């Protein structure tokens, strides 16, 4: 029998990794609803599962703190994230140390600085996990990750860059509109995937009903 390897590398698989990470999905004790039914799991080595728990927590904080009009996301902030901050106050400091008031869609809100490389790296892992789950093979080439929710606030072309991302998100949603939205817990996460015969990949992901993330293959 062939030895199973990790969805991300060639190391031996020793466990199953949740895709997206399990911590993003609320626990039953917090909302009284099972948002962890039928999770997507892929074979993983230790490095790409347990050893990236801090990265998973950071991703959870950025995703949930970016959405203020979703009941599930707000509950995550009031429960799981507060518990994480109590265990490790440095997590809160990392996210909140640089913030500024802004206007978004005509409403006052607070913007915080995101470590975009760290954020995108976690999303890259998710995309590769989704691809493995659906196609039973690894995606081994580079991916481009974009999120219209991650706004540029500085620079002369910030407004133009934000508009480009917004248009990109709307275009991808339209292109993939006929594809099924996959995910048993759509209030937390769903995705659409297009993979053609030219080995081109396009994925539309939605977290907490409002934070869109796009992933595409690179030439």
Per residue in 200-212, pLDDT tens? 999 999 999 989 9
**CA neighbor of 191 nearest in space, from 208, 201, 206:** 206
**According to the model, what pLDDT value does residue 200 have?**
96
- Reported confidence tier of residue 149, pLDDT bands at 50, 70, 90: confident
Q: What average pLDDT does the structure give for the chain?
A: 86
**According to the model, what pLDDT value does residue 126 have?**
98
User: Out of 6-10, 72-76, 142-146, which region has the weakest mean confidence (pLDDT)?
Assistant: 72-76
How far is Cα 89 from Cα 80, in angstroms, rounded to an integer? 13
User: Out of 60-64, 98-102, 193-197, 209-213, which region has the weakest mean confidence (pLDDT)?
Assistant: 98-102
How far is Cα 130 from Cα 133, in angstroms, rounded to an integer? 5
**CA neighbor of 151 nearest in space, from 90, 103, 202:** 103
User: Out of 8-22, 40-54, 162-176, 192-206, which region has the weakest mean confidence (pLDDT)?
Assistant: 40-54
User: How much of the chain exceeds pLDDT 90, in percent?
Assistant: 55
Contact call for residues 68 and 211 (beta carbons, < 8 A)? no
How far is Cα 66 from Cα 110, in angstroms, rounded to an integer? 9
**According to the model, what pLDDT value does residue 174 have?**
98
SS3 assignment, position 119: helix
**CA neighbor of 207 nearest in space, from 35, 49, 29, 41:** 35
Q: How far is CA 135 from CA 7, 38, 131, 179, in A?
A: 11, 18, 6, 16
Per-residue exposure over 74-89, b if at least 16 CB sit within 10 Å of its own CB, e if not: ebbbeebbeebbeeee
User: Out of 51-60, 174-183, 206-215, which region has the weakest mean confidence (pLDDT)?
Assistant: 51-60
Contact call for residues 72 and 81 (beta carbons, < 8 A)? no
Contacts of 55 (CB under 8 A, 6+ apart): 118, 121, 122
For 166, counting Cβ atoms within 10 Å of its Cβ (0-12 exposed, 13-18 middle, 19+ buried), the class is: middle
Residue 43 scores a pLDDT above 90: yes
- Reported confidence tier of residue 53, pLDDT bands at 50, 70, 90: confident
SS3 assignment, position 198: coil
Residue 143 scores a pLDDT above 70: yes
Residue 159 scores a pLDDT above 60: yes
Strand partners, 213: 205
Per-residue exposure over 138-153, b if at least 16 CB sit within 10 Å of its own CB, e if not: bbeeebebbbbbbbee
């Amino acid at each position: 029998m062939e030895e199973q390897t990790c969805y991300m590398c060639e190391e031996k698989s020793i466990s199953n990794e949740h895709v997206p990470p399990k911590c993003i999905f609320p626990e039953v004790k917090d909302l009284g609803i099972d948002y962890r039914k039928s999770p997507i799991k892929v074979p993983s080595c230790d490095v790409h599962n347990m050893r990236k728990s801090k990265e998973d927590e950071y991703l959870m904080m950025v995703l949930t703190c970016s959405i203020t009009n979703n009941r599930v996301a707000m509950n995550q902030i009031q429960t799981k994230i507060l518990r994480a901050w109590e265990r490790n106050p440095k997590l809160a400091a990392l996210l909140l140390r640089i913030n500024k008031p802004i206007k978004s869609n005509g409403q006052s809100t607070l913007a915080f600085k995101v470590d975009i490389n760290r954020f995108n790296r976690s999303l890259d892992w998710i995309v590769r996990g989704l691809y493995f789950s659906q196609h039973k093979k690894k995606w081994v080439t580079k991916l481009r990750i974009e999120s219209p929710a991650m706004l540029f606030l500085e620079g002369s072309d910030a407004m133009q860059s934000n508009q480009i991302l917004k248009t990109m998100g709307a275009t991808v949603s339209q292109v993939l509109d006929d594809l099924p939205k996959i995910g048993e817990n759509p209030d937390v996460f769903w995705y659409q995937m297009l993979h053609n015969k030219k080995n081109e990949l396009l994925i539309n992901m939605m977290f907490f009903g409002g934070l869109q993330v796009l992933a595409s293959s690179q030439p």
